Chains A and B, each alone.
Chain A
Amino acid sequence: MNKNLLTAVGALALSASLAAPAMADKTKFDFWFGLTGDLAQRVGEVCQHFNDSQADFEVVCTSQGNYDQTLQNTIAAFRAGNQPTVVQVYDVGTATMMLSGAYYPANKLMAENGYTVKWDDYFPGIARYYAASNGDMYSFPFNSSTALLYWNKADFAKIGKTEAPKTWEEAAEDMKLLKDAGSACPMGINISANESWQLLEQFSAIHNEPVATKDNGFGGLDTELVFNKTKFVKYVTDLKSWYDQGLVKIKAKETGKTFVEAFAAGECDMMMTSVGDHGTVAKIAVPGLDWDVAELPVYAGTERKNSLVGGASLWVLAGKSPAEYKGAAAFLNFIAQPEQALFWSTVTGYIPVTKSGFDYMKAQGFYDKPPYTGREVAIASLTASEPTPITRGVRIGNFTQIRAEVSNGLQEIFANNKPVQEAIDGVVERGNALIKRFADTYPGKTLP
């Protein structure tokens, strides 16, 4: 249907009259986000701060459920011409967004509205993830995180260790000792689609191993998965053997406890999860739990590279009025202020995305007081090296489905249905078909 034909002639718009006539001098614009629960409250507070800070604009912030639902709803709204001005899109959605033709590039928006953004102030690991191949940022990083190793200091003390393992070889030793010392769960993991992030993507980045050809998909839609030929295979083989020896336990909601809950209960001695869970563990840990975070282990002899950023960024959508764009630019400028970074990191587990925000938080003593001590490890992990073409991130189409394939493969392995190599080969084969399907959907289009 041609949308142009639908301009109002017999306009009966039932809804228009229902919108309360607001203060005429404020320009309203919509911001849809994909967080719920406590985090939705926090986003609401950020919006409130913005609205209180100036007199020209009012942002209307609406939670659209989780990330998937937000993206889906935004697409439906965009197709019907009712899209919000700003929308939060998760990391995996970046490839889709860049091909959508539905966005207004963030750098262009800021320049046109008179804001000078110091783009090199963003941590390179974060900036490159959301940038086009020429380095231009099309969206603003918002809630960002990376994966860390959480470890139980008290239990490690029992085996005479005061530091978290730095290598997987060391970790394997530690887990054996922990088990001998009576630990029921030296390390808790899960193998659902969510954990592809830690187990495959973060692992590959810090080891500088490719997930896919063409620089993990940044170089073109005709990329192919290659993680059946990298250190990932050894990693899975080891995890499986540790699982068989009772060193690694599967902890998921299906077993009763997620690994975060099991760690917070003092049951598991290690887990790998996002720094975003730092606040959660602090809130729900059994009283007196002595724990800390460290960078993820690497295999011995590996030159550690930067880990990947996770989370979501804010996209400005096409087809809105100049006044709304002005408001959106003011909003994006507002949340990039160091004070907002401090507020946001204080009330959530997310990390600052700019050097100036990080410096400001350090200067304010944020990282010195519990329960926030240790979170600076996330910055260290993200900036462990200058991003290589492989550690920029993973930009692959249909990646949501591919993550599910990874989890299916891991489940086949852990349930003893298939040997490691055969299962991972299967994942890669099915994943490549998904990538091909994605490329076929966008004939003639290329990633910017």
Chain B
Amino acid sequence: MIERTPLLNLVTQLLLFLGLIVAILPFAIVLIAATHDIREVNTVPMSLVPGHELFANFAEAWRRADLGVKLTNSFIFAAGVAFGKIFIAALSAYSIVYFRYPGRMLIFWLIFITLMLPLEVRIVPTYAVAANAFQPYQGLLDLLGINWVVEHFTGQRIMLKLSLLNSYAGLILPLIATATGTFLYRQFFLTVPDELAEAAKMDGAGPLRFFWSILLPLSRTNMAALGTILFVWTWNQYLWPLLVTTDPSHGTAVVELKELIPSNYGIPDWNVAMAGTFIVMLPPLIVVILTQRWFVRGLIATEK
């Protein structure tokens, strides 16, 4: 800001520095744990002076968890969910905010309610759907008696099968089906001045044009924020990838990471586990840093 506020500036810097320490501390502890040998890492309190085993632990974790392949998979998985969700959420929020049709609010609430029941709670039936993505439609055909009618006339039943197990689609699609993004976009679209849409309409721009050339560019920082959060969230998903990918070639890094964590009565090599944890956390941290470039002030003036 233009004003001179030396005291406030000092307080600001102090607070931010404090925040920095608080934010970094757990990461630092993990990194220090990764430098120790097995005895040192199990000494309580663990020494905060780094040991000398960092690269040995990194190498061991990398080898055991086969991280090369898994990090790539995780990247595809996390980017897939982030992009898919942003795209689908932008479309549906646009539809809900900028159009009028019967059942619009019902659909908004139907989408919204998906926030209320986490995947893990319905994981067994969701797995059944992943094993055959057409199961719900088959169910509808059966429930509505359509299959009965078809069988009556043709002598054959309609049977649908599409297995998503051990595929990127199976990893990604079920995680896209929630409302976080839709809600955020709704909030953002509601803040966009009506004049913009009015002007666009007067210029003869249709809804597609308005969406593509005006709304999406305007929501750039929202997209960056949402993309970051979704990427990180997906990257850290554990239960679903563990269940859906039994074929190691599709496994994700976090699933492998959990396999590094010592189980009860096993050798507690937390040094290797934390080295692996650190490697696996790096890509999301880098993504957080990179997406901040998008956090630039928008050009629209919302004041009226």
Query: A and B: direct contact (Cβ < 8 Å)?
Result: yes
Binding site for B on A (CB under 8 A): 1, 5-16, 18-20, 30, 32, 34-41, 62-66, 69, 72-73, 75-77, 79-82, 84, 145, 194, 256-257, 261-262, 264-265, 274, 276-277, 279-280, 283-284, 286, 348-350
B159–A37 touching, CB < 8 Å: no
Least Cβ distance of A257 to chain B in Å?
4
Residue in A closest to B141 when the chains form the complex, CB atoms: A5
Question: Which A residues are CB-close (under 8 A) to B262?
Answer: 36-39
Question: Which A residues are CB-close (under 8 A) to B260?
Answer: 36-37
| Max count, chain B CB within 10 A of own CB: residue among A7, A30, A65, A277 | A65
Mark out the residues of chain B between 248 and 271 whose CB falls within 8 Å of any chain A CB in the assembled complex: 248-250, 258-269
Q: Contacts A36-B258, A36-B261, A39-B263 known; A80 to B127 CB distance under 8 Å?
A: yes
Across the interface, A284 reaches (CB within 8 A) one of B38, B127, B273, namely: B38
Mark out the residues of chain B between 30 and 49 whose CB falls within 8 Å of any chain A CB in the assembled complex: 38-39, 42-45
Question: Which A residues are CB-close (under 8 A) to B134?
Answer: 10
For residue B220, CB closer than 8 A to chain A, the reply is no
B165–A15 touching, CB < 8 Å: yes
Binding site for A on B (CB under 8 A): 38-39, 42-45, 64, 123-124, 127-128, 130-132, 134-135, 138-139, 142, 156-167, 169-170, 239, 242-243, 246-250, 258-269, 273
Question: Which A residues are CB-close (under 8 A) to B39?
Answer: 283-284, 286
| Interface of A, helix, strand, loop or mixed by DSSP | mixed
B264–A194 touching, CB < 8 Å: yes
B265–A276 touching, CB < 8 Å: yes
Supply 9 further A-B pairs (C-beta < 8 A) apart from A15-B165, A15-B247, A81-B131. A5-B157, A6-B161, A12-B162, A19-B166, A69-B239, A274-B265, A280-B265, A284-B42, A350-B265
10 contacts between A and B (CB under 8 A): A9-B161, A35-B263, A37-B263, A72-B123, A77-B243, A79-B128, A265-B43, A274-B265, A276-B264, A286-B39
User: Considering the chains assembled together, what is the distance between the CA atoms of A81 and B142 in angstroms?
Assistant: 20
Question: Which B residues are CB-close (under 8 A) to A20?
Answer: 249
Question: Which B residues are CB-close (under 8 A) to A82?
Answer: 131, 165
Across the interface, A64 reaches (CB within 8 A) one of B166, B242, B250, namely: B242
Residue in B closest to A84 when the chains form the complex, CB atoms: B246
Number of A-B residue pairs at CB separation under 8 A: 160
User: Considering the chains assembled together, what is the distance between the CA atoms of A145 and B263 in angstroms?
Assistant: 14
Residue in A closest to B156 when the chains form the complex, CB atoms: A9
Q: Which 4 A-B pairs have the closest CB atoms?
A: A276-B265, A37-B262, A80-B131, A39-B266
Question: Which B residues are CB-close (under 8 A) to A34?
Answer: 263
Least Cβ distance of B164 to chain A in Å?
6
Question: Which A residues are CB-close (under 8 A) to B139?
Answer: 1
A38–B167 touching, CB < 8 Å: no
Residue in B closest to A255 when the chains form the complex, CB atoms: B44
Question: Which A residues are CB-close (under 8 A) to B239?
Answer: 69
B38–A283 touching, CB < 8 Å: yes
Across the interface, A73 reaches (CB within 8 A) one of B142, B242, B258, namely: B242
Q: Contacts A264-B42, A280-B266 known; A73 to B243 CB distance under 8 Å?
A: yes
Least Cβ distance of B43 to chain A in Å?
7
Question: Which B residues are CB-close (under 8 A) to A63?
Answer: 259
Question: Which B residues are CB-close (under 8 A) to A348?
Answer: 265-266
Least Cβ distance of A63 to chain B in Å?
5
Question: Which A residues are CB-close (under 8 A) to B127?
Answer: 76-77, 79-80
Question: Which B residues are CB-close (under 8 A) to A284?
Answer: 38-39, 42, 268
Residue in A closest to B262 when the chains form the complex, CB atoms: A37
A38–B266 touching, CB < 8 Å: yes
Question: Which B residues are CB-close (under 8 A) to A286?
Answer: 39
Question: Which A residues are CB-close (under 8 A) to B261?
Answer: 36-37
Q: Contacts A13-B162, A65-B258, A283-B267 known; A261 to B138 CB distance under 8 Å?
A: no
Residue in B closest to A30 when the chains form the complex, CB atoms: B246
